[in-house]
């Protein structure tokens, strides 16, 4: 085996150029049973559900493509727009023109149909073997993605989740009240569910595609409680989960939406999980 080991120095476009001597199909042992072969033959599909993200979408796409190019990763970004009235889809089409239809995939829907179904819709024609979910409002920075990937490879984790609450992570833009709400919510969730992760409501995660598929099929909640339920189900199904610290810059544009309704919804969601898992 070592006789055929090819040491590949990453060239800027080695994955998108015409097949040359480093193309996967030309390597004698390029199959998924050799994960330690040099070169990353994984493809990462980013699911980006959007609603009224006309201002943020170009920036997040720019940051994503920059990160993927810099680290020589094969990727696609799937934008699931729920009929945004502010022209998000038009901007998405312009970005498609700039970055290519194989990199920016549009899977729009007619109306606001919820997060869970957005993921189901987006994952249907995803061509990657890994799926990244994140927010489109720039609170999640793509620069963390290589960290996610590195962590996943450590022990072939099924899920890698970003956490704002450990060393290396952090939040910007929260006042004392918001922080208190967040810590209180975490405490109750820990007490009731013991989820094994430090950031339960976080939604910056890397999944193996079939793992995500399995979990979504088992999940019933709506909104961000859905993110919580996914983590709890993952533990229920005994998937391996790792954490990576992330920075969270809240609401660069737009208003943060955490009112009494959200809090009640959160507690209801917690209780449902507590009594059903």
Partner 1 sequence: MTRAQVASTTLAAAGAVWLLGLIGVLPLPETVRTQVWPTLPLLAVVSLGAYAFINIGYNLLAFRECPEAYHELMQEIQEAKDDLRAKNVDIA
Which residues lie near partner 1 (CB under 8 A)?
55, 58-59, 62-63, 90-91, 94-95, 98, 138, 141, 164-165, 167, 169-173, 176, 179-180, 183-184, 186-187, 192-194, 247-249, 252, 274-277
Nearer to partner 1 by Cβ, of 51 and 274: the residue is: 274
**Contact (CB, 8 A) for 268 and 224:** no
Nearer to partner 1 by Cβ, of 43 and 190: the residue is: 190
Beta bridge partners of 244: 162
Beta carbon of residue 89, minimum distance to partner 1 (angstroms, whole number): 12
> Is residue 152 packed enough to be buried (19+ CB in 10 Å), middle (13-18) or exposed (0-12)?
buried
Beta carbon of residue 259, minimum distance to partner 1 (angstroms, whole number): 21
Q: What are the b/e assignments for 22-51, b being 16+ CB within 10 Å?
A: beeeebeeeeeeeeebebbebbbbbbbbbb
R_g over Cα of the chain = 19
Beta carbon of residue 169, minimum distance to partner 1 (angstroms, whole number): 6
Nearer to partner 1 by Cβ, of 51 and 62: the residue is: 62
Cβ neighbour number for residue 74 with a 10 Å cutoff:
19
Nearer to partner 1 by Cβ, of 131 and 161: the residue is: 161
Nearer to partner 1 by Cβ, of 88 and 203: the residue is: 88
Element (H, E) at 75: strand 74-81
* Interior angle at CA 37, CA 35 and CA 41, nearest 5: 65
Beta carbon of residue 163, minimum distance to partner 1 (angstroms, whole number): 10
Nearer to partner 1 by Cβ, of 11 and 90: the residue is: 90
Cβ neighbour number for residue 271 with a 10 Å cutoff:
12
Beta carbon of residue 144, minimum distance to partner 1 (angstroms, whole number): 10
Nearer to partner 1 by Cβ, of 153 and 178: the residue is: 178
CA nearest to 164, candidates 207, 206, 205, 202: 202
Beta carbon of residue 236, minimum distance to partner 1 (angstroms, whole number): 10
The dihedral built from the CA positions of residue 154, 157, 160 and 163, taken in this order, carries a sign that is: negative
Cβ neighbour number for residue 236 with a 10 Å cutoff:
12
Beta carbon of residue 138, minimum distance to partner 1 (angstroms, whole number): 7
């Amino acid at each position: 085996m070592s006789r055929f080991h090819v040491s590949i120095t990453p060239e800027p476009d080695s994955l998108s150029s015409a097949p040359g001597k480093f193309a996967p199909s030309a390597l004698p042992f390029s199959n998924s049973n050799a994960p330690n072969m040099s070169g990353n033959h994984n493809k990462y599909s980013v699911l980006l559900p959007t609603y009224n993200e006309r201002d943020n979408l170009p920036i997040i796409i720019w940051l994503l493509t920059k990160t993927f190019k810099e680290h020589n990763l094969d990727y696609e970004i799937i934008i699931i727009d729920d009929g945004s009235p502010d022209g998000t889809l038009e901007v998405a089409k312009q970005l498609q023109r700039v970055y290519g239809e194989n990199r920016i995939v549009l899977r729009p829907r007619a109306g606001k149909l919820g997060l869970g179904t957005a993921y189901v819709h987006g994952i249907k024609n995803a061509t990657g073997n890994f799926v990244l979910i994140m927010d489109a409002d720039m609170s999640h920075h793509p620069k963390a993605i290589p960290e996610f990937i590195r962590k996943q490879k450590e022990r072939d984790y099924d899920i890698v989740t970003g956490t704002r609450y450990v060393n290396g992570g952090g939040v910007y833009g929260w006042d004392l009240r918001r922080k208190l709400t967040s810590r209180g919510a975490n405490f109750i969730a820990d007490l009731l569910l013991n989820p094994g992760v430090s950031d339960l409501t976080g939604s910056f995660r890397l999944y193996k595609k079939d793992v995500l598929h399995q979990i979504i099929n088992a999940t019933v909640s709506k909104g961000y409680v859905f993110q919580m339920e996914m983590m709890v189900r993952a533990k229920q199904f005994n998937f391996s989960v790792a954490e990576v610290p992330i920075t969270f810059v809240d609401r660069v544009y737009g208003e943060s939406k955490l009112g009494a309704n959200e809090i009640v919804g959160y507690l209801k969601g917690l209780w449902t999980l507590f009594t059903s898992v």
